[in-house]
Chains A and B, each alone.
Chain A
């Protein structure tokens, strides 16, 4: 790590956890990737990981979809937030996704090793 103050901002993560309505999991994943992910990438987000639980497509029960995105620090986070938060297409996407979900969470996180630097503002 650089010690001259030029080190890159600590990476931060935005995590979407969507519990799909029974039988909707596979289609909702496809729509997330087709309708949401391209715009998110344009807002500076990098899709690092997708997880599906349980690891099979359920017809009569819910799949949980987890998407982990990374952003290059708090400034990049605010850039993403300001653009996405004012885009009616993003709002329309989430309204549609929420109608096809039992529940949804979005939360933000970091590697524990980065907490001290993130808080040193």
Chain B
């Protein structure tokens, strides 16, 4: 699958519903294989007011949609956009498929020039988070092909949870996160390779996202 994610910050958050309707209709017209367009929830950080996520069968369809979406996101009501285009990489699920829940995405930027072996180690350790943290019900870590926004986003770390408690509780508080993975992000740790500016965004979902 060829995916596109846009985290949209609005100058007037009251317009979020109207913009979501427009984006949703556009994605439907462009035959998005999957789409999630929803207001972000409190606790998102640099995650925008609106999370818009799409999957297409091929790169050309995604590019066409991206070109059609761009004018909508250039409107005066839009203050800024962070986003990525990427091809789905290895994903996983645990437990019964969720009919609804919380979708969370983290956009991150690994420093340019980082040793590729270190990047692979960071990726491998991140992909092990669901092994240790059962609240993560669906997951996918991908490298970005294209990025827009505040940083040159290099990776997209997506997860599904049954509820926000899974994200705020077990995901954050399990030692595999704070005592193991976070050293790649922590400016106080010499292992850090990820820029401190992150986009942490989450919203409710129904159906299937990952």
Residues of A within 8 A of B (CB): 12, 74-75, 77-78, 81, 84-86, 90-91, 94, 98, 103-110, 115, 118-119, 121
Q: A78-B172, A90-B188 are in contact. Are A106 and B183 (CB under 8 A)?
A: yes
The answer to whether B187 touches A94, judged by C-beta atoms less than 8 angstroms apart, is yes
Q: A91-B187, A94-B187 are in contact. Are A108 and B169 (CB under 8 A)?
A: no
The answer to whether B187 touches A90, judged by C-beta atoms less than 8 angstroms apart, is yes
Q: A84-B188, A119-B174, A121-B170 are in contact. Are A12 and B179 (CB under 8 A)?
A: yes
Interface size class of B (residues with CB under 8 A): 10 to 19
Chain B residues with CB under 8 Å of A109's CB are 179
Chain A residues with CB under 8 Å of B170's CB are 121
B75 at interface by CB-CB < 8 Å:
no
B173 at interface by CB-CB < 8 Å:
yes
The 7 A-B pairs at the shortest CB distance, nearest first, are namely A108-B179, A121-B173, A121-B170, A74-B173, A106-B189, A104-B190, A118-B175
Complex CA–CA separation, A75 to B174 (angstroms): 10
Complex CA–CA separation, A45 to B155 (angstroms): 32
The answer to whether A106 touches B190, judged by C-beta atoms less than 8 angstroms apart, is yes
Residue of A nearest to B135 (CB): A121
Q: How far is the CB of A51 from chain B (nearest CB, A)?
A: 19
Chain A residues with CB under 8 Å of B189's CB are 106
Q: How far is the CB of B171 from chain A (nearest CB, A)?
A: 9
The answer to whether A105 touches B178, judged by C-beta atoms less than 8 angstroms apart, is no
The answer to whether A121 touches B188, judged by C-beta atoms less than 8 angstroms apart, is no
